[in-house]
Amino acid sequence: MRKQCYHRYRNLVAVSLWITLSGCAPMIDVEGHRVFNPAYLFYLESDGRDQWQKPQEVLAALRLTPNAVVADIGAGGGYFTERFARHLDAGGRVYAVDVQDIMIDKLRQRVRDRGLSNVEVIKGAFDDPGLPPASCDLFFFSSVYREIENRMSYMRKVRRCLAPGGRVAILEYRPEVKGPVGPPRQTRLSAEQIAQELKAAGFERTEEFSFLPRESFQIFRAVDTDR
């Protein structure tokens, strides 16, 4: 056990140093797109993430009904997926969506190992979440929105997948936050830019929260126009 803890600590230090020197999180190319390197998933699952991500406060702010249907876009290893699944009851559902086969495998393993019976793992596309029309009460993006290449087109497809009254929640690193962790500051999106892009895609901002130390946190609803 002590040896495992030592190796885990050494890996965390190595990745932190790598991020500090490179100015960005480890990334790889998949089908011509830049995505997070799954070899570093342990970094996203580290105990320290709870301190700055504040997942319980995030879930409380979302005010989900017990039978809500949530799409966790770019679910990765399932950090938020599992928390959504345990927050909802058996009548709720979580679509854990990712584009990488290795992430899909890890999500399925997590679902099996932890008995998350209300989670369905979905292989999405880079330009489409791959979910049925009018199926979701919430689309959730945690440090994923900025990685979408054609965001306007993608968000219009998201809009079609929302149930009546459905919402979109976006968490993104704020450009003004300093430090070695997170994407390069010059590539980050301000809360206002995100809001402007969502408006262009047919959404309006309904809530904005400031309790996350590193990220903006905004909620949007689709405006009442033809889809």
Nearest to 76 by CA among 114, 47, 102, 52: 102
Q: How many domains does one find in the chain? A: 1
- Whether residue 93 lies inside any domain: the answer is yes
- Whether residue 30 lies inside any domain: the answer is no
What's the pTM?
0.84
- Whether residue 66 lies inside any domain: the answer is yes
Task: Please report, for the domain that includes residue 218, its CATH number.
Answer: 3.40.50.150
50 C-beta neighbours (distance < 10 Å), count: 11
- Whether residue 164 lies inside any domain: the answer is yes
- Whether residue 136 lies inside any domain: the answer is yes
In whole angstroms, what is the distance from residue 65 CA to residue 81 CA?
16
Facing residues of 131 across strands?
none
- Whether residue 26 lies inside any domain: the answer is no
**Surface-to-core class of residue 226, CB atoms within 10 Å of its CB (0-12 exposed, 13-18 middle, 19+ buried):** exposed
Q: Are 167 and 221 in contact (CB under 8 A)?
A: yes
- For 93, list phi and psi in degrees, rounded to 5: -150, 145
- Whether residue 72 lies inside any domain: the answer is yes
- For 213, list phi and psi in degrees, rounded to 5: -70, -25
Structural domain harbouring 61: 49-222
pLDDT in tens, the chain (227 residues): 554 444 444 444 444 433 433 334 566 565 655 666 565 566 667 778 888 899 999 999 999 999 999 999 999 999 999 999 999 999 999 999 999 999 999 999 999 999 999 999 999 999 999 999 999 999 999 999 999 989 999 999 999 999 999 999 999 999 999 877 778 888 899 999 999 999 999 999 999 999 999 999 999 999 976 54
- Whether residue 10 lies inside any domain: the answer is no
Strands (DSSP E) contained in the chain are 27-30, 33-36, 69-73, 93-98, 119-123, 136-142, 162-173, 203-209, 215-222
